[in-house]
Amino acid sequence: MFGFLKKKEPVQLNETLYAVATGNLIPISEVNDPVFSQKMMGDGFAVIPEVGEIYAPIAGEVLSVFQTKHAVGMKMANGLEILLHMGIDTVELNGEPFDIKVSEGTKVSQGTLIAKVDLEAIKSAGKAIDMVVVITNMDAVKDFELSRTGNVSAGDEVGIAKA
């Protein structure tokens, strides 16, 4: 009846997260934006992409596509919530460099094409092209362990969210 009275269901984990693009993977603490680097929204990682094809880091459902197309929220069947934030301060670009390939309610597999991004347009606007992946419900997660950094290919295993 009242959602706020319900007990929060624990997330069933250990869940692997995957690289969203081919490029240089960095810990979230190295993203040049304090909201991300200080983990105010949650833990995760970023890929500085070489190409503008951006893929799903998990299997789940698209919960939201931001009106400015710079971010996509997803949720796994086990309850883990992920935000894919494309670029830094790119909300100001009003969706111009983003060609989103999914919509709210779309079921995605790890590796589903989420967006084609014009990286040069983002750079020309003076913005960073970091593709940031954040676990937004860290209260349901004990730890996120990044298993690698450096050069990655889209779809490579990069970390595990642990219960």
Q: Tell me the catalytic residues.
A: 85
Q: Detail the DSSP E strand segments found in 76-156.
A: 81-88, 98-100, 107-108, 113-117, 128-135, 143-146, 150-152
User: For residue 5, what are the contacts with CB-CB under 8 A and spacing of at least 6?
Assistant: none
Consecutive H or E run containing 24: strand 23-27
Asked if residue 36 lies in contact with residue 46, where contact means CB atoms within 8 angstroms, the answer is yes
Q: How far apart are CA 61 and CA 70, in angstroms?
A: 17
Q: How far apart are CA 52 and CA 108, in angstroms?
A: 19
Of 142, 132, 128, residue with least CA distance to 46: 132
Tokens of 138: 């860290």
